[in-house]
Every structure is written in C-alpha cells, then in structure tokens.
Amino acid sequence: MPPKRDGDVVVITGASAGVGRAVAREFARRGASLGLIARGHDRLQAACEDVERLGGRAIGISADVADADAVEAAAETIERDLGPIDIWVNNAMTTVFAPFDQIRPEEYRRATEVTYLGTVWGTMAALRRMIPRDRGTIVQVGSALSYRGIPLQAPYCGAKHAVRGFTDALRCELMHEGRNIQLTMVQLPALNTPQFNWCRSKLPNHPQPVPPIYQPEVAADAIVWAAYHRRREVYVGRSAVTAIVGNKLAPWYADRHLAKNGYASQQTEEEVDAARPDNLFEPVEADYAAHGIFDDRAADSSWQLWLTKHRGWLLAGAAVVGGALAVAGGLLSNGCAHDE
C-alpha cells in the first residue's frame, strides 16, 4: 500500500466518473487535498463529496482539458486554494466506437484533442509549477491499447499511442536536465466504467470492454501506487500484459485474431439506440460514479498487479531460496565426495 502522506495536493483530470472518480476516492483515503477537473457540474460536486466523506479535501473545477488555457487556469485555482501541486494524474478521455470510415473528421479531432492533447496540456500545466520547485510526480493513465491497436477504436488507440510516445520523449528530456520529477505511465486493462454508456457509438449493439473486465478500483490502486513508486511504467491485469507482450512477439497473430474476433468482443447482444446522448462534445448529465453496467462480470482484484507491487519481496525471496539451494547442493556434493 502506498504511504499515506497528509498534505499531498493531487490533481485528477476526468475526475467525475469512471477511473478518475475511483482514483479520487483512493487518494482521499490517504488524506490528500484534491483538485478535480471534469466538465459535468453535478458529478464533480458528487465527487468532491466522496472525497470529503473519506477524509480528504477537494475542489471541483469545470473545465475542458482540450482547452489549454482552461487547464492552466484550473491549475492556478488549485494552487491558490489548496497549495503547491505534488501529483498530477492525466486521466481524461473520450472516444468514438465505429469503423474508421464511419468517423467524421470533427469527431476524430475531438477524441484526439481530449485524450491526447488533454494529456499534453495537463502535463504542461503541471511542469510549469513542478520544474521551479524541482519536485513532483505526473501519472499518465494509459492503456494496453497504447501498444496494441484494436478495431472500432482507432481514435482512442491512436491517442493512447501518442501519449506513450510523448511521455517517452519528455522523460528523456527530464532525465537530461537532471530534474527531480517522476513521470510514469500506467497501462490499464478493460474496465467496468460508464464510458460504454455515454461514448459516441455507431455500432449496432451496445459497446462493451473486451473481457476480462476489471473494476475501476483495480486501476485506482495501480495509479495511486505508481504515484508513490519510481516505476517507468506499470502494467495492470493479466490481459494487459498479454496484449502488450504478445504484440511485441507476434503482432501478425494479434492482427488476425482481432480481425476475426475484435468486432463481436466489443459488443453485447443488446441493441443500442443510435440517438442516445454521448459525451464527445458535451458532458452527459447522468447519475454515474466509478462503475459502469458490467459489475457482474468484473473482477475486483488482479494477482498480476499484486505481483508487480511486491516484486522486490519476490526477488528477495527467490534470492534466498536460490542461495539455500546452492548451499544445499554444495553440502550434498561435499558429502558425496567424502563418501567416495
């Protein structure tokens, strides 16, 4: 468990629902002061109330992360009201579920501006404050899809690939300059969040995360842990590791598998209303928090994440066992030599 550090000031974008809402709750349990950025007013207020019930402090700021000036103004307000920012979590996203040839240019641009440029503008605002103090942590919320693109999600996959490339480039610059600023990216699996209820979709059936599905609290656990541990990247969930590593080893197989199965695996059997409200350009005012509609299919823990968080202990244990086996082997060898 990450240490509780009373007084940390944490900014979370996309904080009113889904992963952002779960991350806010997790930081609140550690007594953090939270600046929550999102577009929806009512859900922002509810998220602030969550934080305060759990022992944290919070202010909610309605802002569109695709607007660099709005993100900068939000950062100014947070530092004025809560103090210097210690941790910034770039989590905001939106997407369009559709074959590429059915996506209009303005839809693709909007998904890219929120998911990719929103991360860039958030990182800029954070660094303007962290570099003069030479301290701070920025967590980029990524996805297994930042390594492995899948059909029907070209805008999201392209944006997450761009976030990873941007983050790698920036990390090298910070290292070159000797900055004491931690930059990490958390690659998430499929999650049970409300995005599948309010994303823009042109599919015939209701969109769904590709199973296996995890609860957003699993992602929140990893994001908060990454904020306090110096890891370049953190993979979350067996499926994320399989997708990332498998794509490195056999991308041709992933292409064929997804071409055959990627359409059906991202849709339920339930038809969806083509005219349903979506959050691509405007927030959907609905009563959602962290969870989506797939609670009965979502896992609330990940053994892979547990192994990642405890790898130091595991390596130490393996070294002890290895040493013991080596000693035992030596004793047996000496014993056999003596018998001869």
Please name the amino acid found at residue 169: A
The predicted pLDDT at position 7 comes to: 76
58 pLDDT exceeds 60? yes
Between 7 and 227, whose confidence is greater? Answer: 227
DSSP class of residue 206?
Answer: E
CB 69 within 8 A of CB 43: no
Task: Give the pLDDT band (50/70/90) at residue 334.
Answer: low
pLDDT tens readout for residues 186-209 = 999 999 999 999 999 999 999 999
* Residue in this structure with the two tokens 């693109």, named with its chain if needed: 149
pLDDT tens readout for residues 279-296 = 999 999 888 899 999 999
State the Cα–Cα distance between residues 200 and 204, nearest whole angstrom.
12
The predicted pLDDT at position 287 comes to: 84
Task: Give the pLDDT band (50/70/90) at residue 26.
Answer: very high
Helix (H, G, I), strand (E, B) or coil at 270: strand
Q: Where are the beta strands (DSSP E) in 117-180?
A: 136-143
CB 36 within 8 A of CB 23: no
Q: Which of 116, 147, 156, 214 is catalytic?
A: 156
134 pLDDT exceeds 80? yes
Q: Which CATH architecture has domain 9-304?
A: 3-Layer(aba) Sandwich (3.40)
The mean pLDDT of 6-17, rounded to a whole number, is 92
* Residue in this structure with the two tokens 């080596």, named with its chain if needed: 326
CB 10 within 8 A of CB 89: yes
Distances (CA, A) of 242 to 12, 113, 156, 270: 28, 29, 19, 28
330 pLDDT exceeds 60? no
What would the two tokens of residue 211 be? Answer: 């199973």
State the Cα–Cα distance between residues 205 and 269, nearest whole angstrom.
6
CB 187 within 8 A of CB 203: no
Residues 6+ apart with CB under 8 A from 10: 27, 32, 33, 34, 35, 85, 86, 87, 88, 89, 227
Residue 172's Cβ-side half-sphere holds a number of Cα atoms within 13 Å equal to: 5
Task: Give the pLDDT band (50/70/90) at residue 45.
Answer: very high
State the Cα–Cα distance between residues 89 and 160, nearest whole angstrom.
15
DSSP class of residue 54?
Answer: T
- Residue 108 falls in the annotated catalytic set: no
State the Cα–Cα distance between residues 19 and 215, nearest whole angstrom.
9
Domain definitions of the chain by residue range? 9-304, 310-340
Task: Give the pLDDT band (50/70/90) at residue 250.
Answer: very high
The mean of the pLDDT values for the chain is 91
The predicted pLDDT at position 5 comes to: 56
CB atoms within 10 A of CB 286: 14
CB 89 within 8 A of CB 35: no
Give which of 50, 6, 60 is closest to 31, Cα–Cα. 6
